[in-house]
Structure 1
Amino acid sequence: MAYWLMKSEPYEYSWSQLVADGRNVWTGVRNYQAANNLRAMQVGDRAFFYHSNEGREIVGVMEIAKTAYPDPTDETARFVAVEVTPLMAAVTPVTLAAVKADPRLVDFSLVRQSRLSVAPVRDGEWAMLCEMAGISA
């Protein structure tokens, strides 16, 4: 199983909306590196749901429910989407400030490539961030 971090502005699509929907298509990724990360995802992989711009915090964990397919919102047909389902909310949301303050996370993609909307998370980082969020890895 691989781990990921996926960002969404809460005013566009929030964690609470995903929970209410039960499953949704993750669309709108227009960065090639982020799109390649979507292509690498497998059913059963886990991803942190990160509220970007407003909040700037990890708020939950999702599971990849369907692998990459053409993004229905992309008129160029170059980009892909995946489907996700919510698994659990963070007991304690993990803020960007908390991530940056932890020296063990200095190489974490959220710190190194802060503008990347879909990024891999290493096993050790996943375990640390789950602990910080108060959830089981």
Structure 2
Amino acid sequence: MPFWLMKSEPDELSIHDLQRLGKARWDGVRNYQARNFMRAMRPGELFFFYHSSCPEPGIAGIARIAGEVYPDPTALDPQSHYHDPKASPEKNPWSALDVEFVEAFPQVISLGQIRQQAVLSGMPLVQKGSRLSVMPVTEEEWAGVLALR
């Protein structure tokens, strides 16, 4: 089963928000490569929940894909920060999916800690210039991150 990492700004949706809600929609992805990774996800697959654009960026916990991918409704909402004026109900290029809480780590595994691990040096997360918000994680990388918690 594939593993993933997905980034969210904690003031938008944090691991603790997801813990409180149980399930939430993951939307607003506006990068085609990240969107394509989302489209490859299947219900039941796990992902690292990464807090980004915050004082302490890092992996905050684990969540699970809770359903099949579907058109992102925020692309059609003119009031949404993620509105895409080129999207229409007939042709919406963006995707969303539902996710559910699995585990919050006692402490965030910082990007600095991740960068110090040789087994994690190949992760797209630590590559220069990589800003993807959704990315695959190998089994070896998954185990390497879990060993840090």
Q: TM-score range by the shorter chain?
A: over 0.9
The answer to whether the 8 Å contact 1:48/1:58 transfers is yes
Give the 3-state SS of the residue equivalent to 2:67 in structure 1.
strand
Give the aligned partner of residue 34 of structure 1: 34
RMSD: 1.1
TM superposition shift of 1:129: 0.4
TM superposition shift of 1:94: 1.0
| Number of aligned residues | 133
Give the TM-score normalised by the residue count of structure 1. Answer: 0.93
Kindly report which structure 2 residues correspond to 1:82-97, keeping only aligned pairs within 5 A, or say none.
82-97=97-112
Asked if 1:131 is matched to 2:147, the reply is yes
TM superposition shift of 1:90: 1.3
The answer to whether the 8 Å contact 1:6/1:47 transfers is yes
Kindly report which structure 2 residues correspond to 1:30-109, keeping only aligned pairs within 5 A, or say none.
30-54=30-54, 55-75=56-76, 76=87, 77-109=92-124
Give the aligned partner of residue 117 of structure 1: 133
Structure number, greater radius of gyration: 2
C-alpha separation in 1, matches of 2:94 and 2:64: 20
Listed one character per residue, the Cα deviations across residues 109-133 of structure 1 (whole Å, up to 9, x for unaligned) are: 1012631000000000001101112
TM superposition shift of 1:27: 0.4
Letter in 2 for 1:103: A
Give the aligned partner of residue 19 of structure 2: 19
Larger strand share, 1 or 2: 1
Give the 3-state SS of the residue equivalent to 2:112 in structure 1.
helix
C-alpha separation in 1, matches of 2:11 and 2:130: 19
Runs of 4+ in 1 over 4 A off after TM superposition: none
C-alpha separation in 2, matches of 1:127 and 1:67: 26
TM superposition shift of 1:8: 0.4
Listed one character per residue, the Cα deviations across residues 71-116 of structure 1 (whole Å, up to 9, x for unaligned) are: 0101211110011001011133211001111122111110126310
- Structure 2 unaligned spans of 5+: 77-86
TM superposition shift of 1:33: 0.3
